């Protein structure tokens, strides 16, 4: 099949990108260890309680898809299997996108749009944001649109439920999809069923199931301590405030521009799906307490990539139907040009594969691996943020400085580290913490390699 090359190529590229990054200790306990520990516990049919968040997995984020996903650990105990699987399933969304595109467009355009999806900066960024369950959503969301267009309703509703199981917020976005279905399919039954199922799912998860399982802090959106309900009512009561916060600060407008520009602005020509895309942006931009969500990076644009690709298919169909055959060559050139400009201008994560330092094995990495290998498999352990993902297959893991009286503690104090390696602190604070633990006889160093240290609790 013509679309196999983008799938195979990007599966390999993304696997290299994420696995090498992980091998070089760039994965983070927040969030990798939270997912990894929960999946490991699911795979053993044990209660998936995170000792990083101190929450049940389904209370932290309601994501039932984690249960079947955990079967990966029946085949391998290596946490890198998550990163490879994530790379493959993100890339695999090219198949339904291509199938949908080739129904309406020439083969060249169909393959190109599949490529625009898989090479989108938001998809690239998802692969270097460690592992997140939302990486599964593009694959199933693309099939949802395919079954919707084919009017294969049984498959459509099965995939709808799978999409909802990815994360609790997905139902809010798919409820808006009901409007799209009503406009494009003139099928009020399916539109209403989609709206009700999606909205009830998310509402039940957020307001009933998660609190019942222990989530007491699903808050802080517009101002510290508010609830999602209060935030929504506040915006509905003050539309100008909502509009202002949708575009400002400037970073939000930049994310909007580059997201659409990466697809040649063609998605703006397909108005029917635009409300769903705008809702996806609004769910991030109107959250004023978490600016990290405003960017095109991390995992926050994963499902957006599918929405933009689908919109590009139908937008391109309209363009080609109104102009002569020369318009195909122009459209292909324009889409390639805008996409290339976007990836060159922005920090495209795939560029890292071209940098010699990305591949370089530093001496401190071998020192750290040696120390990590000394921790007994069943022991509880506390470690800094970038070391915890290599220790997550155990029942008790803790993020320093909350060591919770763990049996062992590991610190890597080599110079020049990013502060994020220590999550809420930095290298100097970690050195002070290390000395304090030893001075007060809480822990005793029992092994070291370079600047990496293994400490054992003093009973």
Give the pLDDT of the chain (459 residues) as one tens digit per residue.
566 888 999 999 999 999 999 999 999 999 999 999 999 999 999 999 999 999 999 999 999 999 999 999 999 999 999 999 999 999 999 999 999 999 999 999 999 999 999 999 999 999 999 999 999 999 999 999 999 999 999 999 999 999 999 999 999 999 999 999 999 988 999 999 999 999 999 999 999 999 999 987 777 688 887 878 788 888 888 999 999 999 999 999 999 999 999 999 999 999 999 999 999 999 999 999 999 999 999 999 999 999 999 999 999 999 998 887 678 999 999 999 999 999 999 989 999 999 999 999 999 999 999 999 999 999 999 999 999 999 999 999 999 999 999 999 999 999 999 999 999 889 999 999 999 999 999 999 999 999 999 999 998
Q: What is the pLDDT of residue 229?
A: 79
CA distance 277 to 299: 16
CA distance 171 to 164: 6
Could you give the angle at which helices 302-322 and 137-150 cross, rounded to 10 degrees? 40
Tokens 């503690």 found at = 409
Q: Which of 313, 337, 354 is the last residue of a domain?
A: 354
* 59 shares a domain with 129: yes
Q: Shortest CA distance to 206 belongs to which of 163, 172, 173, 233? A: 172
Structural domain harbouring 216? 4-354
Count CA atoms within 13 Å of residue 28 on its CB side: 14
What proportions of the chain, in percent to the nearest 5, are helix, strand and coil? 65, 5, 30
Q: Which of 334, 354, 374 is the last residue of a domain?
A: 354
- The tally of domains found in the chain comes to 2
First to last CA, the chain: 63
* 304 shares a domain with 431: no
Q: What is the pLDDT of residue 45?
A: 97
* 129 shares a domain with 244: yes
CA distance 52 to 217: 15
* 255 shares a domain with 394: no
Q: What is the pLDDT of residue 325?
A: 64
**H-helix or E-strand containing 456?**
strand 452-457
**Structure tokens that stand for 201 in this block:** 């799912």
* 254 shares a domain with 214: yes
Q: Which of 354, 380, 397 is the last residue of a domain?
A: 354
């Amino acid at each position: 099949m013509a679309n196999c090359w983008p799938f195979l190529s990007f599966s390999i590229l993304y696997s290299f990108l994420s696995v090498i990054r992980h091998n070089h200790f760039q994965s983070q306990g927040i969030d990798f260890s939270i997912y990894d520990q929960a999946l490991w516990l699911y795979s053993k049919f044990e209660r998936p309680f995170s000792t990083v968040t101190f929450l049940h997995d389904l209370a932290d984020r309601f994501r039932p898809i984690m249960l079947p996903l955990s079967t990966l650990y029946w085949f391998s105990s290596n946490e890198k299997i998550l990163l490879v699987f994530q790379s493959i399933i993100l890339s695999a969304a090219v198949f339904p996108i291509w199938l949908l595109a080739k129904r309406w467009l020439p083969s060249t355009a169909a393959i190109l749009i599949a490529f625009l999806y898989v090479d989108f900066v938001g998809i690239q960024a998802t692969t270097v944001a460690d592992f997140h369950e939302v990486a599964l959503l593009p694959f199933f969301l693309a099939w949802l649109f395919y079954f919707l267009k084919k009017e294969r309703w049984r498959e459509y509703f099965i995939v709808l439920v799978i999409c909802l199981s990815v994360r609790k917020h997905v139902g809010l976005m798919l409820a808006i999809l009901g409007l799209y279905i009503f406009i494009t399919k003139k099928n009020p039954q399916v539109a209403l069923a989609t709206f009700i199922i999606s909205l009830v799912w998310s509402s039940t998860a957020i307001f009933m199931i998660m609190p019942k399982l222990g989530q007491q802090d699903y808050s802080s959106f517009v101002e510290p301590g508010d609830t999602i309900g209060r935030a929504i009512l506040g915006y509905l009561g003050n539309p100008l405030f909502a509009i202002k916060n949708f575009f400002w600060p400037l970073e939000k407008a930049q994310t909007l521009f580059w997201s659409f520009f990466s697809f040649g602005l063609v998605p703006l020509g397909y108005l029917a799906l635009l409300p769903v895309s705008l809702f996806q942006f609004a769910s991030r931009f109107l959250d004023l307490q978490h600016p990290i969500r405003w960017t095109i990076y991390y995992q926050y644009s994963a499902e957006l990539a599918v929405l933009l690709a689908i919109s590009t298919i139908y937008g391109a169909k309209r363009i080609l139907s109104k102009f002569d055959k020369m318009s195909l060559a122009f459209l292909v050139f324009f889409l390639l040009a805008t996409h290339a400009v976007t990836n060159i201008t922005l920090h495209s994560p795939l560029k890292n594969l071209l940098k010699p330092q990305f591949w370089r094995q530093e001496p401190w990495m071998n020192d750290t691996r040696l120390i990590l290998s000394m921790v007994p498999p069943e022991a509880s352990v506390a470690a800094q943020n970038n070391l915890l993902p290599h220790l997550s297959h155990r029942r008790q893991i803790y993020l320093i400085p909350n060591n919770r009286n763990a049996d062992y503690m590991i610190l890597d104090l080599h110079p020049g580290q990013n502060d994020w390696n220590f999550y809420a602190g930095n290298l100097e604070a970690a050195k002070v913490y290390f000395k304090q633990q030893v001075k007060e006889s809480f822990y005793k160093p029992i092994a070291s390699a370079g600047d990496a240290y293994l400490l054992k609790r003093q009973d």
